[in-house]
C-alpha cells in the first residue's frame, strides 16, 4: 500500500480549475492535471483495503489500489501498465467519468475519498507526454474480418481489442469523424478532441480501418438523429463481407416533450445545440443555434443538461435556468445508508458554477409560449411528490421568459430502423436484446451479429461502453477462434 499513515496525514486533493472568466472565453479544457508530486501524495492516502470497494464499483474494474501504490512509489510506467490492463482509454474516463469508484472508496465513509480520478488522469496524461503509449499490433494475423458499426467508445474499445487479437477490423461511422458522443455531444471544454484523434492514430497503427461518413443499415434516419453520411451500406452486405458484425451504434433517439408550442422556433433537442457546437470548434462551420443574449431554459437535470448550461454561458446567454422534474436531492448523502453505492445527492457541475444558474426542482413544463412562431417563454407548474406520485400544485403556474429551450431529458432507445435492418430482436425498452454473461454473451438473435454499449444497455456512461466493448470483443474472438485470451 501507499504510506500506511498517509490517509491520516494528507488531505484529498483533486485537480485545479482555470478561473471562470478565463474558461468562458473559449471551449478549451480548463481542468489542470494534478502535478506529479501531488498525485504521489494522493496515492499515499490509499489504504489498500482488504476489500477494495473502489475496484468493485468501477465498471471496468480498474485495479485502483495497485496503481495508487505505484504512483506513490514513482513507478509511473508500471502504473500505466496496470491501468491499461483494464481500460483502453483512461484519458477519457480520467476526465469525464462520474467516478463511482470514489463514491465507494472506504476512506470516503468518514473522511474524503482518495482522488482516484485525478490520479488516473495524471498517469495517462504523463504517459502520453512521455511517449509511453505506443501501438501494440498483433504479432500474428488470423485472417478473420470484423465490422464494427459505430465509432463511439464501445466501438473503439471493441475494435482495439479485436485488432490486438489479430483480426482485421473495420469501423463504420456515419459521422465525419469517429468518437461517438465523446466527439459529438460532450463539449470540447470537458474533453479535448485531439485526445480522440491520437487514439484513432494508435488504432490505425494496430491495423484498424475507419470508414467515416458511411451509414449502415438505412438510407435515412428519423428526425433528430445527426448524420454526416455520404454513403449507405446495407446490413446484408456487411454480413456477407465480414465474419462477424458488432453493433455499437449507441442510443440516439432523444426523449421529446410534446406539450403545446413544441413546434416554436427556439425549442431544440440538446444535441441540436451541442453537436453543431463540437463541429464549430472543429472548424466545420458555425453553430446555427445561438444562445447569445437569450434567456435559456434547459429541461433535464443530467450530464446533457449541464453541458447545455456550460455551452450557453460560452455563447453569452443572458440567463440560464435548469428544470428538473424530481425533488432536490440532499446536499449530503447519509453514508450509513448509501455507501458504497452511488448516492442520490445534489450534484453541482463546473458548468453550473460558470454563471448564476437558476436550478428549479419539482417542476414540470406545461407549455411553450411564443409570438410570431418564436419562443418567448415556458409555462411551468410546481409539483408535490407523494409516495413516488407526482401531483401538480394548483395555482403554482409560472411563466419563465425564454428564447431558447434545450430538451435534455435523456434518450429513449437506439434507432430502430438500423436494428430492424439486421433483424435484431429488441428488449422491452427497444434496445438490442443480448445478455452480458454466459456462453452467448453479447450475441443477438442473428447469427454472427453482436451488440455492445448504449445500443444494448440504453444511454449510459463512457466507462460502461468501454467495459462492454472489451467484453464483447472477447465474445467475438471466442466465436471466431473457439477460444480467447482477451480479458473480460
Q: Which of residues 365-404 bind ligand FAD (CB under 6 A)?
A: none
The entry of ligand SF4, ligand FAD, none near residue 116 (CB within 5 to 8 angstroms by kind) is: ligand SF4
Minimum CB distance to ligand FAD smaller for 46 or for 409: 409
Angle between helices 64-72 and 116-130 in degrees, nearest 10: 60
Residue 172 contact, options ligand FAD, ligand SF4, none, Cβ 5-8 Å cut-off depending on partner type:
ligand FAD
Residue 285: all three cell numbers together = 462551420
Residue 160 binds which entry of ligand FAD, ligand SF4, none, with Cβ cut-offs from 5 to 8 Å by kind?
A: none
Q: Does 235 contact ligand FAD by CB under 6 A?
A: no
Residue with cell 457541475: 349
- The nearest distance, CB 110 to ligand SF4, in angstroms, is 12
Nearest to 84 by CA among 161, 153, 140: 161
- The span from the CA of 330 to the CA of 488, in Å, is 37
Residue of 418, 424, 472, 473 that binds ligand FAD (CB under 6 A): 418
Nearest distance, CB of residue 377 and ligand SF4, angstroms: 48
- Region of 58-66, 209-217, 235-243, 473-481 interacting with ligand FAD (CB under 6 A): 209-217
> Going by C-beta distance under 8 Å and a sequence separation of 6 or more, which residues neighbour residue 368?
259, 260, 261, 262, 264, 267, 375, 377, 378, 379, 405
471 binds ligand FAD (CB under 6 A): no
C-alpha span between 441 and 475 (Å, rounded): 6
Residue 96 touches ligand FAD, criterion: CB under 6 A: yes
Binding test (CB under 6 A) with ligand FAD, winner from 94, 115, 217, 301:
217
Number of shown-chain residues binding ligand SF4 (CB under 6 A) = 15
Among 114, 181, 235, 424, binds ligand SF4 (CB under 6 A): 114
SS (H, E, C) 309-346: HHHHHHHCCCEEEEECCCCCCCCCCCHHHHCCCCCCCC
Q: What is the rounded CA–CA span in Å between residue 407 and residue 297?
A: 9
Question: Which cell goes with 244?
Answer: 462477424
User: Binding residue for ligand SF4 (CB under 6 A) from 24, 46, 195, 415?
Assistant: 46
What's the rounded Cα separation, in Å, for the pair 170 and 149? 9
Residues between 449 and 468 with contacts to ligand FAD, criterion CB under 6 A: 453-454, 459-463, 465
Cα distance between residue 265 and residue 287, in whole Å? 15
CB of 42 to ligand SF4, least distance (A): 10
Which one of ligand SF4, ligand FAD, none is in contact with 2 (Cβ closer than 5 to 8 A by kind)? none
* Cβ pair 238, 421 in contact under 8 A: no
The binding site for ligand FAD (CB under 6 A) comprises 96-97, 149-155, 172-175, 180-182, 185-186, 215-218, 248-250, 274, 303-304, 307, 418, 453-454, 459-463, 465
Amino acid at each position: 500500500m501507499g504510506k500506511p499513515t498517509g490517509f491520516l496525514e494528507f488531505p484529498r486533493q483533486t485537480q485545479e480549475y482555470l478561473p471562470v472568466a478565463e474558461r468562458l472565453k473559449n471551449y478549451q479544457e480548463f481542468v489542470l492535471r494534478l502535478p506529479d508530486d501531488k498525485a504521489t501524495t494522493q496515492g499515499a492516502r490509499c489504504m489498500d483495503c482488504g476489500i477494495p470497494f473502489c475496484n468493485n464499483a468501477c465498471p471496468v474494474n480498474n485495479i485502483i489500489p495497485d496503481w495508487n501504490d505505484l504512483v506513490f512509489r514513482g513507478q509511473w510506467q508500471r502504473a500505466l501498465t496496470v491501468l491499461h490492463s483494464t481500460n483502453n482509454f483512461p484519458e477519457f474516463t480520467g476526465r469525464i467519468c462520474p467516478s463511482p469508484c470514489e463514491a465507494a472508496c472506504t476512506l470516503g465513509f468518514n473522511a474524503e475519498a482518495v482522488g482516484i480520478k485525478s490520479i488516473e488522469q495524471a498517469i495517462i496524461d504523463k504517459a502520453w507526454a512521455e511517449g509511453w503509449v505506443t501501438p501494440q499490433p498483433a504479432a500474428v494475423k488470423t485472417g478473420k474480418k470484423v465490422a464494427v458499426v459505430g465509432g463511439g467508445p464501445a466501438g473503439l474499445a471493441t475494435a482495439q481489442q479485436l485488432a490486438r487479437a489479430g483480426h482485421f477490423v473495420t469501423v463504420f461511422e456515419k459521422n465525419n469523424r469517429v468518437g461517438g458522443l465523446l466527439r459529438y455531444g460532450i463539449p470540447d471544454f470537458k474533453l479535448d478532441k485531439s485526445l480522440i484523434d491520437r487514439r484513432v492514430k494508435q488504432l490505425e497503427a494496430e491495423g484498424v480501418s475507419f470508414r467515416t461518413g458511411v451509414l449502415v443499415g438505412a438510407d435515412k434516419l428519423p428526425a433528430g438523429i445527426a448524420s454526416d453520411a455520404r454513403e449507405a451500406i446495407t446490413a446484408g452486405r456487411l454480413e456477407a463481407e465480414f465474419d462477424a458484425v458488432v453493433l455499437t451504434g449507441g442510443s440516439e433517439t432523444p426523449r421529446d416533450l410534446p406539450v403545446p408550442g413544441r413546434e416554436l422556433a427556439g425549442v431544440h433537442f440538446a444535441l441540436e445545440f451541442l453537436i453543431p457546437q463540437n463541429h464549430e470548434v472543429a472548424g466545420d462551420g458555425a453553430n446555427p443555434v445561438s444562445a447569445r443574449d437569450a434567456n435559456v431554459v434547459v429541461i433535464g437535470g443530467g450530464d446533457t443538461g449541464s453541458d447545455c448550461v456550460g455551452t450557453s454561458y460560452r455563447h453569452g446567454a443572458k440567463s440560464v435556468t435548469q428544470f428538473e422534474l424530481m425533488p432536490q436531492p440532499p446536499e449530503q448523502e447519509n453514508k450509513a445508508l448509501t455507501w458504497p453505492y452511488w448516492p442520490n445527492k445534489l450534484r453541482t457541475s463546473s458548468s453550473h458554477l460558470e454563471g448564476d444558474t437558476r436550478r428549479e426542482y419539482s417542476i414540470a413544463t406545461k407549455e411553450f409560449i411564443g409570438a410570431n412562431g418564436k419562443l418567448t417563454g415556458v409555462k411551468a407548474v410546481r409539483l408535490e411528490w407523494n409516495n413516488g406520485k407526482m401531483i401538480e400544485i394548483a395555482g403554482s403556474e409560472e411563466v419563465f421568459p425564454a428564447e431558447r429551450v434545450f430538451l435534455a431529458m435523456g434518450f429513449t432507445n437506439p434507432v430502430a430502423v438500423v436494428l430492424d435492418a439486421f433483424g435484431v430482436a429488441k428488449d422491452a425498452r427497444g434496445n438490442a436484446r443480448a445478455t452480458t454473461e454466459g456462453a452467448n454473451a453479447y450475441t443477438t438473435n442473428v447469427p454472427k451479429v453482436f451488440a455492445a454499449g448504449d445500443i444494448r444497455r440504453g444511454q449510459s456512461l463512457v466507462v460502461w461502453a468501454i467495459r462492454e466493448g472489451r467484453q464483447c470483443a472477447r465474445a467475438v474472438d471466442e466465436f471466431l477462434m473457439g477460444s480467447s485470451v482477451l480479458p473480460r
